[in-house]
Amino acid sequence: MQTLTTIDALRCCIKAWRQEGQSIAFVPTMGNLHAGHISLVQTARQQADRVVVSIFVNPAQFGPHEDFASYPRTEQQDQTQLINSGTDLLFLPSAVEMYPNPIQTRVSVNELSSMHCGASRPGHFDGVAIVVCKLLNMVQPDILLLGEKDFQQLTVIKTMVNDLNLPVAVQGLPTVREADGLAMSSRNSYLSLSERQVAPLLYLTLCNIRDAILKGRGDFPVIIAEQTQKLKDAGFLIDYVQICRSTDLLPPTEIDQELVILIAAKLGKTRLIDNVYFIRPVSS
């Protein structure tokens, strides 16, 4: 596996692969890799001749009081995992390499970026959009692979790619979970031992809401209130729970079948997000 730290070196390598007619799959990450990231790399390995992974903790997507400085950085262990999973190239740029000057160009997916997590983290998805747009221009992959754990982020990036006619196929892969259902996340390391035991209730709540809807209940606010009370009793501070149509994350109409339940909540100091996608039968 090559490890490159400059855009010029990255582009030189990509150009050589392209001249050989090779296809490229790309997995962008912020490091502190877990099994969810590695599943993306393994799928990428099956779908393209070459696999590029980036590790960059992007300052543009962190708010002024968020965890940029303390975000877990484990580059040595990450590199070992990437070598073992068949990665061809690791792009490991510095913040100066990615943002040599104050950035004056904005990439924003307006409505999608202002709801749900965007309401709690103003500017977050603009930071995601700009860095992914920059990375796609650098790597120029055929396939971009992302996890579905951050369903809103995935939807923002799909919309950006479609709106800007970027020549890349975006593929979302199912959330990888611990044995007790907790979605794998780099921020899980912030949880205390007691919080870690409680954290799987988040996914259980999503499943309970989904199951109630699949049984035919349409009183969404009541279902949410019933289930989130259990989370509050367990010590969660709820940010939001929303039942949305999966295409644009807006409230579903009675005929929408493809739904996603989004949730964000704090447990202690740790902000957790999760979601469940499902298809609701709609009677004709």
What's the CATH number where 126 sits? Answer: 3.40.50.620
Q: What CATH number does the domain containing 271 carry?
A: 3.30.1300.10
Q: Is residue 283 part of a domain?
A: no
Strand order from edge to edge, sheet including 258-267 = 236-245, 258-267, 270-279
Copy the structure tokens of residue 228. Answer: 């989130």
Helix (H) or strand (E) holding 233: helix 220-233
Q: How many domains does the chain have?
A: 2
Residue after which a domain boundary falls, among 139, 173, 207 = 173
Q: Is residue 44 part of a domain?
A: yes
Whole-angstrom distance, CA of residue 234 vs CA of residue 99: 42
Which residue's entry shows tokens 């303390």?
70
Q: Is residue 180 part of a domain?
A: no
Q: How many residues does the chain have?
A: 284
pLDDT at 282: 77
Q: Are 215 and 247 contained in the same domain?
A: yes
Residue after which a domain boundary falls, among 152, 173, 194 = 173
Percent residues over pLDDT 70 in the chain: 99
Q: What is the mean pLDDT of residues 201-217?
A: 97
Q: Are 217 and 169 contained in the same domain?
A: no
Whole-angstrom distance, CA of residue 119 vs CA of residue 124: 9
pLDDT per residue as tens digits for the range 111-130:
999 999 999 999 999 999 99
Q: Are 234 and 272 contained in the same domain?
A: yes
Q: Are 23 and 160 contained in the same domain?
A: yes
Q: What is the mean pLDDT of residues 3-28?
A: 98
Strand order from edge to edge, sheet including 143-147 = 2-4, 89-91, 50-55, 24-29, 143-147, 169-173
Whole-angstrom distance, CA of residue 216 vs CA of residue 232: 25
> Positive or negative, the Cα torsion across 233, 238, 240, 245?
negative
pLDDT per residue as tens digits for the range 90-108:
999 999 999 999 999 999 9
Q: Are 103 and 7 contained in the same domain?
A: yes
279 phi and psi, to 5 degrees?
-110, 120
Neighbouring-strand partners of residue 51: 25
Q: Are 45 and 146 contained in the same domain?
A: yes
Q: Are 155 and 190 contained in the same domain?
A: no
Neighbouring-strand partners of residue 29: 55
Residue 65 pLDDT grade (very low, low, confident, very high; cuts 50, 70, 90): confident
Q: Which amino acid appears at position 247 of this protein? A: T
Q: Are 106 and 199 contained in the same domain?
A: no
Q: Is residue 239 part of a domain?
A: yes
- CA dihedral of residues 182, 62, 156, 41 (deg, nearest 10): -60
Q: Are 8 and 95 contained in the same domain?
A: yes
Residue 284 pLDDT grade (very low, low, confident, very high; cuts 50, 70, 90): low
Which residue's entry shows tokens 């957790």?
272
Neighbouring-strand partners of residue 240: 264
Does this model's pTM top 0.85?
Answer: yes
Residue 245 pLDDT grade (very low, low, confident, very high; cuts 50, 70, 90): very high
Q: Are 12 and 153 contained in the same domain?
A: yes
Neighbouring-strand partners of residue 271: 266
pLDDT at 137: 98
Q: Are 100 and 197 contained in the same domain?
A: no
Contact in structure between 79 and 90 (CB atoms under 8 Å): yes
Q: How far lies 228's CA from each of 51, 232, 248, in Å?
A: 41, 6, 24
Copy the structure tokens of residue 22. Answer: 């090779």
The residues carrying an active-site annotation are 37
Q: Are 212 and 154 contained in the same domain?
A: no
pLDDT per residue as tens digits for the range 67-98:
999 999 999 999 999 999 999 999 999 999 99
Whole-angstrom distance, CA of residue 184 vs CA of residue 177: 5
Contact in structure between 36 and 176 (CB atoms under 8 Å): yes
Q: What is the mean pLDDT of residues 40-55?
A: 98
Whole-angstrom distance, CA of residue 279 vs CA of residue 147: 19
Domain that holds residue 161: 2-173
pLDDT per residue as tens digits for the range 156-197:
999 999 999 999 999 999 999 999 999 999 999 999 999 999
Secondary structure letter of residue 183 according to DSSP: B
Whole-angstrom distance, CA of residue 271 vs CA of residue 11: 36
